[in-house]
Amino acid sequence: MTPGIRPLVAGNWKMNGTAASLGELRAISHGFMSGLDAETDALICPPATLLARAADIVSSTPVKVGGQDCHAKESGAHTGDVSAEMLKDAGASHVIVGHSERRTDHGETDAGVRAKAEAAWRAGICAVLCIGETKAERELGSTLDILSRQITGSVPSAATAHNTVIAYEPVWAIGTGLTPTAADVAEAHAHIRAELKELLGAEAAKMRILYGGSVKPSNAVELLSVENVDGALVGGASLKAADFLAIAEAYRSI
Ligand SMILES: O=C(CO)COP(=O)(O)O
């Protein structure tokens, strides 16, 4: 938690979900309408195929929906890609950029991620910009250097607390059930805050820095209580409304 920053609990459904999964989104919306919105903001990023229907479902609820990636350009001959403008048109308020699964599987560079964040702003939506070290980088002791490099390379200097959310996701913690210790998370988030301050000045103090990687109901209170952790980016546990709501409920006891 950071005093003065309202937390955000975000779900990344990745390549999971068909129309049948929208019942989980309805249940998530009900949970937030029944009072959880007092504790935290909520965002669900379903696959692009479900985005418009998801946006309808959450339209009169506190829950927002977002995309999982966007092309840097507004339109053009880019078969299979989706622009930030298209996401916004489908009802998205946010888009995840630079997720490690895209950095790894699609060779995305820091400069490419920065262009996608700027594309999100151009479309009028907020970028959820992911950074994080691999297992090998952590074992080499270079975690903080990697985070510095990713921030310098992929966070545009015009980033504000309004148009950008940072998500720290250690690659080795994603989908593995492994998490860093609370002390390691505290160190990484304090470092990210300091680097953002170098880049953005006073604005950095207001920016949300989410933690992602094997967040589940059983570890949510411990991870979300850490200083400078302003919410979570949840993968697997966001697919089940009960788990996602239980993670958000952690804020009732923090
Ligand atoms: O990659 C993630 C969210 O973007 C985290 O995924 P898991 O919560 O499944 O580890």
What percent of the chain is helix, strand and coil (3-state, nearest 5)? 50, 15, 35
Give the atom of ligand 1 at the shortest distance from the alpha carbon of 96. Answer: 4
Residue ID of nearest Cα to ligand 1 atom 8: 235
Q: What is the pTM of this model?
A: 0.98
Give the dihedral sign, CA 71/74/79/81: positive
Active site (annotated) includes residue 30: no
- Ligand 1 centre from 42 Cα, in Å? 16
**What does the H/E/C string look like for 177-240?**
CCCCCHHHHHHHHHHHHHHHHHHHHHHHHHCCEEEECCCCHHHHHHHHCCCCCCEEEECHHHCC
Direct distance between the N- and C-terminal alpha carbons of the chain, in angstroms, rounded to an integer: 8
Residue 63: predicted pLDDT: 98
Active site (annotated) includes residue 106: no
Q: What is the ipTM of this complex?
A: 0.99
Give the atom of ligand 1 at the shortest distance from the alpha carbon of 14. Answer: 4
- 12-17 average pLDDT score: 98
Domains identified in the chain and CATH numbers: 8-252 (3.20.20.70)
Residue ID of nearest Cα to ligand 1 atom 3: 235
Per the structure block, which two tokens stand in for 39?
A: 């504790």
Banded pLDDT at 134 (limits 50, 70, 90): very high
